[in-house]
Amino acid sequence: MGLIVQKFGGSSVADAEGLKRVASRIVATKKAGHQVAVVVSAMGDTTDELLDLAEQVTPMPNGRELDMLLTAGERISMALLAMAIGNLGHEARSFTGSQAGVLTTSTHGKARIIDVKPGRIVEALNDGAIAIVAGFQGINQDTNDVTTLGRGGSDTTAVALAAALEADVCEIYTDVDGVYTADPRIVPSARKLDSITYEEMLELAASGAKVLHLRCVEYARRFDLPIHVRSSFSNNEGTWVVKDHPGGASGDNMEQAIIAGVAHDKTEAKITIVGVPDRTGVAARIFQTIADADINIDMIVQNVSAAATGLTDISFTLPKSDGAEATRILKDIQGEIGFHSIQYDDQIGKLSLVGAGMRSHPGVTATFFACLADAGLNIEMISTSEIRISVIVREGDLEKGVKAAHTAFDLDVDDEAVVHGGTGR
Ligand code: ASP
Ligand code: MG
């Protein structure tokens, strides 16, 4: 007998049918002799619909009120799920994030979990009940206001709760069979991975793979908590996210593929600052200005300055949603720094290749670039880590690039990946 935390995403509980299916799955785990705590997302596209509603009321919703609104989505699904379980003859108690002791920072819309004090969850489990917790939300203890963790944050709630409860495993149920070598919605021949390391999963999640929330993987790694990503529509074994691949340390296991997967991201834009004086302190001034606005940047490229002019161009990528703000604040320092102009481009896509085997296998970059060239793609920016290569290409070329890289690294399999439900929205 163990303690299992199960998380069900929005597409798994999209309607009454889905809620009932998930309820019987939870009850089956309970009947197998485990204690079960469940984290649930809002039904289907509820969060998007609530966001649309807010937008119809005001172009700039207040952060506190928006969080109040969005947390309602998870409250609906948790209560209905508890009722569905009750109908199967088992006791379930639902809890909001704040009732479950999820304590966060105060930043509305992207709060971070500081601590989880799951006293009421432990009590429910000890009473033999199934605990259902609303995902993606918590409370800040200074303001006493409810917060949300950012889109897709229920994964992080589940892992944080599992860590606090010292659970044996955190099962993340989704609409695909596990973590794939590429998004199966784009590459139907993508292969399901049996296991992937925290390190590789972090790089994939940071590169746009949406199967797991980035912070949930960071959390799991910190607490060395195994995550089992699997489908709520089948009983198939999914993908284990663990410290090392079974049978060898990451990277030096000969059986292990060199490449874990190909990720893509269409959410970034590129800003180029043209004609920047090549002087000490200029880059620092530019990026401090961006940082002060709480904007995260990703890739940066600076060219050598032309000898005749002493001017250079600096390009960087950032979330599209921060594009307007970044352009505005850079214009404010244009006179002070003395650059020529700013170019904004939101038609870019990021393509990333991730694999721990890159460390020990030369030639990965060459193969990657050659396959992109063969597919007719032009590379605009490049960045690397020890186990990742990312390039910026035209957004319209992105899917072609994903398929080309997937094939070039022999990742294709014959049977088509099954994608259940989910609009991918
Ligand atoms: N319901 C929230 C969202 O759609 C949180 C989640 O699904 O994890 O982003
Ligand atoms: Mg969702």
User: Residue 423 has what pLDDT?
Assistant: 43
User: Residue 248 has what pLDDT?
Assistant: 54
Ligand 1, residue 213: give the atom nearest the CA.
Answer: 8
User: Residue 424 has what pLDDT?
Assistant: 42
Given a contact cutoff of 8 angstroms between Cβ atoms, the answer to whether 350 and 207 are in contact is: yes
Whether 144 has a pLDDT exceeding 50, the answer reads yes
Ligand 1 center from residue 107 Cα (angstroms): 17
User: Residue 246 has what pLDDT?
Assistant: 74
Considering the domain 3-175, what is its CATH architecture?
3-Layer(aba) Sandwich (3.40)
Which of 291-298's residues contact partners 24+ apart within 8 Å by CB, and which partners? Answer: 293/322, 293/325, 293/326, 293/329, 295/319, 295/322, 295/325, 295/326, 296/322, 298/268, 298/350, 298/383
pLDDT tens across 305-328, in order?
887 888 999 999 999 999 999 999
User: Residue 96 has what pLDDT?
Assistant: 98
Q: How far is the CA of 169 from the CAs of 154, 225, 230, 235, 308, in angstroms? A: 16, 7, 12, 17, 61
Question: In 3-state terms, what secondary structure has residue 266?
Answer: coil
Ligand 1 center from residue 275 Cα (angstroms): 42
Query: Buried b vs exposed e over 134-173: b needs ≥16 C-beta within 10 Å?
Result: bbbbbbbeeeebbbbbbebbbbbbbbbbbbbbebebbbbb
Q: How far is the CA of 67 from the CAs of 98, 116, 214, in angstroms? A: 13, 19, 20
pLDDT tens across 146-193, in order?
999 999 999 999 999 999 999 999 999 988 899 999 999 999 999 999
Whether 18 has a pLDDT exceeding 90, the answer reads yes
Is 77's C-beta closer than 6 angstroms to any atom of ligand 1?
no
Helical ranges in 375-425 per DSSP H: 398-408
Ligand 1 pocket test target in 154, 210, 219 with most atoms within 8 Å of CB: 154
Ligand 1, residue 153: give the atom nearest the CA.
Answer: 8
Instruction: Give one DSSP letter per residue of 25-93, joined into a string.
Output: HHHHHHHTT-EEEEEE--STTHHHHHHHHHHHH-SS--HHHHHHHHHHHHHHHHHHHHHHHHHTT--EE
Whether 419 has a pLDDT exceeding 80, the answer reads no
User: Residue 247 has what pLDDT?
Assistant: 64
Q: What is the mean pLDDT of the chain?
A: 93
User: What residue segments make up the domains of the chain, in order of their start?
Assistant: 3-175
Whether 252 has a pLDDT exceeding 50, the answer reads no
Question: In 3-state terms, what secondary structure has residue 224?
Answer: coil
Whether 251 has a pLDDT exceeding 70, the answer reads no
pLDDT tens across 35-69, in order?
999 999 999 999 999 999 999 999 999 999 999 99
Whether 257 has a pLDDT exceeding 80, the answer reads no
pLDDT band at 79 (very low <50, low <70, confident <90, very high): very high
Whether 345 has a pLDDT exceeding 70, the answer reads yes
Q: How far is the CA of 288 from the CAs of 90, 217, 311, 315, in angstroms? A: 55, 28, 20, 15
Whole-structure pTM over 0.85, yes or no? yes
Whether 218 has a pLDDT exceeding 50, the answer reads yes
Whether 294 has a pLDDT exceeding 90, the answer reads no
Helical ranges in 95-182 per DSSP H: 119-126, 154-164
**Length of the chain in terms of residues written:** 425
User: Residue 421 has what pLDDT?
Assistant: 61
Would you state the structure tokens that stand for residue 248, as one six-digit string?
């060898």
User: Residue 250 has what pLDDT?
Assistant: 47
Which helix (H) or strand (E) element contains residue 391? strand 388-394
Is 154's C-beta closer than 6 angstroms to any atom of ligand 1?
yes
Given a contact cutoff of 8 angstroms between Cβ atoms, the answer to whether 5 and 165 are in contact is: yes
